[in-house]
Amino acid sequence: MPIIDIFLLKPDAYVHACENRRAPLWISAFIILVGVIYGILVALLQRSIGGELQGIPVAHIPFWVLMLGNILPGIVITIMIHIGIMLVAWLMAKALGGRGELGLLYRAGGYLLPLTLPALPAVAFTVAVTTTTAHSAGPIPLIYQALAVFGTALFLAGLYHVFRVTQNFPPTRTLFAVALFAAFSVSILSLA
């Protein structure tokens, strides 16, 4: 399976996720990749923004400690997000009369993780600003916002294919499932 198929939003990538016996290895690699990139971005942004982290000036924290302290939680957060994607997709599938197929949604949902890469700078910026005492960081840069919108659109388009492959929904029901997923996710994120 060429990784480019995931970014080209080809349904074959999600069929591969469901049927190939090596798919769990790819899913693990995607989880680690996204978690590591997220952790690196948070560490770099914390270092560039400055301020204090848990009462210690960020400039005095060895860079490798800052990196490791963000990469490990980044991987754990990615695992939790993957599980969350699977559970919400399962709920939406069941709500619309789909088979559910939790295992297939787990596997196909793992292939959605690389599609979130463009959104990571915006998420990392928000985390870096909220975890340090630097109040002069300003608003999220416009390029990060644009990348977040692009990453979200990629993710939702990929989710469309996940529902088509795993639930065998017709196109209109699939669009409705994706819209429900997006509405549910936005409502939950607005509470945070």
* Domain span including residue 110: 4-191
Centroid of chain to Cα 75: 11
Q: Which long-range contacts (CB under 8 A, 24 or more apart) does 94-98 make?
A: 95/177, 95/180, 96/167, 96/169, 96/173, 96/176, 96/177, 96/180, 97/173, 98/163, 98/166, 98/167, 98/168, 98/169, 98/177
66-87 mean pLDDT: 96
> What predicted TM-score, i.e. pTM, was given to this entire model?
0.91
The number of domains in the chain is 1
Provide the strand spans (E) within the chain: 52-53, 56-57
Would you give the distance in Å from CA 90 to the centre of its chain?
17
Does residue 2 carry a pLDDT above 80? Answer: no
> Which range in 52-66, 124-138, 142-156 is most confidently predicted, on average pLDDT?
142-156
